Amino acid sequence: MAPNSKLNAKRKAQRESTKQPGKPRAERRPNEDSKAQYIPIELQQLLLNIFRNSFAEHLSSDFAPLLQEVKGHLYNRDFATAFGKNEYLEVYAARWSPSRALGYLDLLWELRDHLEFVSENSGADGEEENGRKSYKVVCLGGGAGAEVVALGGLQKLLSTLDPQEEGDDEKKKKKPRRMEISAVDIADWNVVVENLAQHLTTTPVLSKYASAAAKAANVPFANPEDISITFHQHDVLQASTPAINSQLAEASLVTLLFTLNELYTTSLPLTQKFLLHVTSVLQSGALLLVVDSPGSYSSVTLNGAEKKYPMQWLLDHTLLNQASSNKNERGKEEIASWEKITEDDSRWFRLDDRLQYPIELENMRMQMHLYRKL
């Protein structure tokens, strides 16, 4: 069972196998939330272009038959086959990751003050730019690339942001920190992550007929000196402690985006154990961002009776109660391990109707929970 949207993809495959033909594009409403307007439409389109260019071979061919094969394997719960070939992984990423990347970027931008991507000071006077402390992000279940592209978009947005009403010296101090992104997944998504990383950090290929002005303006989406992207293949519920520790120990942010409920479904005890292990490894001040489908439930069996609990309740119970109890010594006051910073039980991200992509994309709805390690 992969922590990378397997069950969610299966549910989506079930819905898509029975639903009527898609609605015309004109019926998809632009994003009605004013907060979404902070993300320029031009930047959103550039991110979609990264997916389009990364998977151009599949998107320019007859995409539907291969996609139906993937959906069929997901529907039959044959995850080993569905995520066992590079072409299946690329089709999956081309189909489901673009809209998620935009939705994640919208959320990350809204949370930017909590996440502290921008460094107040770039270092001592005269210190070189490459002396900035890196911001390390571990994306658990992030093999399909949505998190990687969203974070690349955030880095771009922060690097072009011009703080208002501040002097030149102050502007120099507030710069985005170099971002080190580690995508972790059970399936071998390396080909997908490498492809997306290449298109994020290298100059796009232009037509030989491109104008001189277009060639002069052609630059990588993200400066490779400002962002690094790697992939690591691990089953987080079974991986050895050193393997997980090495990824988490210095993380500033850990994400579980449309992943946690799948882990709970695979094994609630192992997932609880893993969350407690994450608690023990993360440094103080590190953040945990959890995003999943609204209304997600997992079953717990006690004394032979099965009862369903909301994913949100299980998560809060583990981090805010159980993790704190584990730190508590007998006869001493309980010490909290986490604090919840913010949450949203149900939020929408709606695609702007002006965006262009070779296949139809979908709006997304999510619940969100952000915690800080104490």
pLDDT of residue 238: 86
pLDDT in tens, 73-107: 988 878 889 999 999 999 999 999 999 999 999 99
Q: Rounded to the nearest 10 degrees, how much is the dihedral formed by the CA atoms of 275, 281, 286, 287? A: -10
Which residue is it, tokens 């390690």? 373
pLDDT of residue 328: 56
d(CA 126, CA 129): 9
pLDDT in tens, 342-370: 999 999 999 999 999 999 999 999 999 99
Q: What is the pTM for the complete model shown?
A: 0.83
- Ordered alpha helix ranges (H), 174-302: 190-201, 212-216, 241-248, 260-266, 268-281
Please report the domains of the chain, with CATH numbers, ordered by start residue: 6-20+31-117+133-373 (3.40.50.150)
d(CA 294, CA 166): 40
Output the average pLDDT for the chain. 83
CB 19 within 8 A of CB 362: no
What pLDDT band is residue 53 in, cutting at 50, 70 and 90? very high
What pLDDT band is residue 274 in, cutting at 50, 70 and 90? very high
Whether pLDDT at 134 is above 60? yes
Whether pLDDT at 302 is above 60? no
Which residue is it, tokens 């990588």? 220
